Amino acid sequence: MTAAEIRLFFQHLQSENPQPVTELHYNNDFELLAAVMLSAQSTDVGVNKATARLFPVANSPAAILELGEHRLKQYISSLGLYNSKARHLIGACEILAREHQGKVPGTRKELEALPGVGRKTANVVLNVLFGEPTMAVDTHIFRVGNRTGLAPGKTPLDVEKGLLKAIPKQFMQDAHHWLILHGRYTCTARKPKCHICPVMQECHWPEKTSAIS
């Protein structure tokens, strides 16, 4: 995809959704961190249902620690991998309480030192809470980056690096949300909705013509 096509690509996405936001529900910094940690291999809808039960009871590191791992599991048992997620969240809360006065740290190194927080989770937190122009490559962004020709890559890190290099600076802050939402609702894994796609003209997917017909 050429530089001119990339600029048009994001201009179209911006026009469709000028102020994109995460679909995870949260009311404070810790709630976002916890929700993103719980979202691994789970849908945002599923996470929001679980946190709607959990957060009114415990929405801070201290409250989660007081709740305890066993009771925490009861609130998030609807999510995949809930046993490991509960263990990681408890471990993260212990570090947040001990080393960060219960606050979510604002550096990649500190975030990735928390159990259950990898590069993707750290990128989401840095982007949403701290306004950093990061790119959290999930399955949707990986697909869109490769399918459209925007930033082809064999691994999520390849796609992340390609996107950070290709996306114009003026779009970087919101690009993560635009690409996730585009992959989630339009450029879907099965039967992509090319007939309503706002970036169809810029897309380099060789099968898009057949998908429209």
Catalytic position from the list 29, 73, 85, 120: 120
The verdict on whether 44 is a catalytic residue reads no
DSSP per residue, 154-208: SSHHHHHHHHHHHS-HHHHHHHHHHHHHHHHHTS-SSS--GGG-TTTTT---TTH
Burial class (CB in 10 A: 0-12, 13-18, 19+), 100: middle
Burial class (CB in 10 A: 0-12, 13-18, 19+), 25: middle
Tally Cβ neighbours within 10 Å of residue 79.
21
Catalytic position from the list 73, 85, 138, 208: 138
> Measured between alpha carbons, how far is residue 85 from residues 5, 42, 69, 150 in Å?
40, 11, 10, 33
The verdict on whether 138 is a catalytic residue reads yes
Q: Which residues are catalytic?
A: 120, 138
